[in-house]
Amino acid sequence: MSDQLSLPAITNKHQTNKGLVKWIKYAIVPIVIIGSILIGLLQIQAPRAVDSSAPLDVFSSARAMEKLKVIAKEPHPLGTPAHDQVRDYLMSELVSLGLSPEIQKAHVTSDVSSKFSEVSGTIENIITRIPGTDNSKAIMLAAHYDSTPNGPGAADDGVGIAAMLETIRAIQASGPLKNDLILLMTDGEEEGLLGAKAFMTEHPWAKDVGLVFNFEARGNKGPSFMFETSDQNGWIIKEFMKAAPYPIAYSLIYNVYKLMPNDTDLTIFREKKLVGLNFAFAMGYNSYHKPMDTPENLDPSSLQHQGEYMLSLTRHFGNLELDEVKQEDRVYFNVFGWKMVSYPLSWVNWFTLFGVLLFVATLCHGIYRRRMSLKGLAGGFLITLLCSGVLFGVVTLLWSILKSNVSKTQLVLILKDPQVSIYYLIGLLVLSFIMIFLLIRWLSCYIRAENVWIGALLLWLLLCVGTTIYLPGGSYLFTWPFIFSLFGLNMSLIMREGAWTWISVLFAAPGFILFTPIWYLVSVMMTLELAGILAVLVSIAFSLVFPVFCTLQKRDIRATHDAMVQP
């Protein structure tokens, strides 16, 4: 009996090993994609709520919640008895903290925007000041204590007021600040930012403010985002990243928000040239300005997140020199959980230029190795556009059919209740992925995977250049996935054709990590009414792994061909 294996046995063993390697590679694809999406989701979480047994110098959402239950017991819009009761309660709470609050009473007419142009009213701002040990400029914490007639206003904006009371208590427990601290509880915000206008135009302390932090809400749960800054935010962004223990912020949001007609009290402060930051949470939109905006329906983690921002930033900036706080604007975004990256806005053009040159070099590399062509580039680009267009059309059609077949009540739940909308969002993502997979397998039959890849990256190049020009704060969303994917494409060109195309999924990971929060923000803040736009964003992100789908089919074709010609 021979100890040596026969040639057929060696061949079968080799084929088995190749098959095993093949399936390992295929398994890596969904693992990396799903893993990258999960990492992206880690960016959008609130810290755990802290109970009332926490040390006195720590912010406790449980302690703040006790205050909130009184503030948001019932609706308390401007000019109602309930409003006066909340005003008196807040005055007594501030006095019990050893402060000397005052009421600024003024008659104000709003001129923020056309929707508020005819609104006027008599407001009663609650203001107090805590002297610092060596003041440079004062820090101001701002939130509004009035509600709409339709809801108790637990989240909007009772959270900001309750967090302010708990923050002051914690600061007093840990010792004084260097800078003065001004507390501004504005009135008439829901009527048209009346209280903020009255403070900035009539109160003498307005000129003393060096920084302002404003707190808002557009739902009753979810993490709190720093969604707006003042201009020339470079210094404050760098310090914010140092100070906040759980920061979530994207310069893309700020750039988009500036294009929208929305206003908060910070709108007034910015118009008067104050430097500041704006914070809000936005999940649970079905509670916004509704009767269900109660303390019982509020997520304590959202209150904790607002309070963590308020306390940590007050302590940090309260001990800094605030005479010079303006620097060049910065691009900023989260990457892993609460870890952020930022760089000066002036760097955006250089990163984009690098991406353009790398794209040209990659195309030349592919043509040199006879793996790409200009005709193939055009074909890959058209496939990418067609995929996005088909996805937009189909999802928009399906959404229209769904809306016409559900009741108005059901539609409101789908759009605004996160416990319902999440399933529709997951369904949208799964449907989009299946459609993309099938479309690319069909459309790329006669185009090399590398041409599909470079064609998809041509769209990314255009988006990168476009955002650099028109939305520089959002350029990071396209620049970094684009550059990483180009590195992956060049690596695949060095290897045998088809052997390393699957590596595109590894270099697409940054794209999925950065895009996941954007999917979340579009679905939560804009609702699924923008289902078609959301599907296009999914298509753009998945275009980074188009070559994986192409490779799967081409390998199947080659395997079939080899089997047919094998003797």
- Per-residue pLDDT tens over the stretch 244-291: 999 999 999 888 887 777 789 999 999 999 999 999 999 998 899 999
Task: Give the CATH number for residue 167.
Answer: 3.40.630.10
Query: Averaged over 456-462, what is the pLDDT?
Result: 97
Q: How far from chain centre, in Å, is Cα 468?
A: 19
Q: For residue range 365-400, what is the model confidence (pLDDT) as tens digits?
A: 999 999 999 999 999 999 999 999 999 999 999 999
What whole-number distance in Å separates Cα of residue 513 and Cα of residue 453? 19
pLDDT in tens, 212-228: 999 999 999 999 999 99
Residue 201, domain extent: 61-336
229 has pLDDT over 50: yes
Quickly list DSSP for 398-422.
HHHHHHHTS-HHHHHHHHH-HHHHH
Residue 101 is assigned to a structural domain of this protein: yes
Does one domain contain both 383 and 304? no
Residue 18 is predicted with a pLDDT of 54
Residue 219 and residue 306 in one domain: yes
Contacts of 102 by beta carbon, 8 Å cutoff, 6+ apart? 126, 127, 128
**402-407: average pLDDT:** 92
Rg (C-alpha) for the chain, rounded Å, is: 28
Flag whether 54 is in a domain. Answer: no
Q: Which of 278, 304, 336 is the last residue of a domain?
A: 336
Residue 560: per-residue pLDDT: 37
In a domain, 316, yes or no: yes
Domain limit, last residue, from 287, 316, 336: 336
Comparing 68-72, 93-97, 246-250, 401-405, the range with the smallest average pLDDT is 401-405
Residue 317 lies in a domain: yes
DSSP string covering 534-552, please?
A: HHHHHHHHHGGGHHHHHHH
Q: Within this chain, do residues 478 and 552 fall inside the same structural domain, yes or no?
A: yes
Residue 51 within a domain = no
Query: What percentage of the chain carries pLDDT values higher than 70?
Result: 90
- The pLDDT mean for the chain works out to 90
**Confidence (pLDDT) at 100:** 97
Please, is 209 exposed, middle or buried when counting C-beta atoms within 10 Å of its C-beta (0-12, 13-18, 19+)?
buried
Residues 357, 331 share a domain: no
Classify residue 9: in a domain, yes or no. no
pLDDT digits (tens, 9 = 90+) for 425-435: 889 989 999 99
Q: Which residue has the tokens 């704060």?
A: 473
Both 264 and 352 in one domain: the answer is no
Same domain membership, residue 202 and residue 100: yes
Q: Which residues contact 2 (CB under 8 A, 6 or more apart)?
A: none
pLDDT at 38: 93
Q: Are 125 and 103 in contact (CB under 8 A)?
A: yes
Closest CA to 501 of 538, 440, 557, 546: 546
13 located within any domain: no
Residue-level pLDDT at 256:
83
H helices of 73-217, where?
Answer: 81-96, 159-174, 189-192, 194-202
Cis peptide before 180 (omega within 30 of 0): no
Q: What is the reported pLDDT for 549? A: 84
Assess whether 356 and 490 both reside in one domain.
yes
Instruction: Looking at the structure, tell me whether residues 262 and 392 fall in a common domain.
Output: no
pLDDT of residue 110: 81
Pair (125, 209) in one structural domain: yes
pLDDT of residue 114: 45
155 compared with 497, residue with greater pLDDT: 155
| The pLDDT of residue 262 | 78
Q: Cis omega (within 30 of 0) on the bond before 156?
A: no
149 in a structural domain: yes
| 205 shares its domain with 353 | no
Same structural domain, 417 and 320: no
Q: What is the largest CA-CA distance in the chain?
A: 106
241 & 196 share domain? yes
**Residue that finishes a domain, picked among 336, 359, 382:** 336
Confidence of residue 562 (pLDDT cuts 50, 70, 90): very low
**Number of domains forming the structure of the chain:** 2
pLDDT category of residue 4 using cuts at 50, 70 and 90: low
